[in-house]
Structure 1
């Protein structure tokens, strides 16, 4: 395993913020967690997350139709949870 070069806390905060802003997809976040936090290749990261390599690849590409439980199982390893948050008022203007 190669040593990540960035501060773990700062990286996690950055990823959380991008997810909250809607500027980062779940797949992008998982890829950043893999690369920026763990430094693992896909095979080792999939093993760590107890996922098949195929599932991890689909997650990182925002492909397939993962369950909330699958997403949550990855994010929990990094102190995050998948859930519903209250949107901003401007987001609700479309309805």
Structure 2
């Protein structure tokens, strides 16, 4: 699973865009980043992010009420953090 830096950057940007557009849920984005970019198992990734495996599982499954600190911890390795985005309104 060898990716060039450019490929990794494009993948991260595509996931970030899908999140911002609302076409990808936060948990699925985290799972895709973990699997497709790092190739790590949940236990390895959780250890790297300094969170529990249980917290990671809850984030990936969209369960519970995650803290901003936990969410930022899983996004940080990819140069991302949670933020506020403008809602796109449909023009009729």
Q: TM-score, normalised by structure 1?
A: 0.84
What's the counterpart of residue 79 of structure 1? 79
Change (3 A) 1:4 1:40: farther
What's the counterpart of residue 52 of structure 2? 52
Q: Which runs of 5+ in 2 are unaligned?
A: none
Number of equivalenced pairs: 89
Q: Considering only aligned residues, what root-mean-square deviation do their CA atoms show, in Å?
A: 1.7
Q: Deviation at 1:12?
A: 0.3
Q: TM-score, normalised by structure 2?
A: 0.87
Indicate the structure whose relative CO is greater, using CA pairs within 8 Å and at least 6 residues apart.
Answer: 1
Q: Which runs of 5+ in 1 are unaligned?
A: none
Q: Deviation at 1:32?
A: 0.5
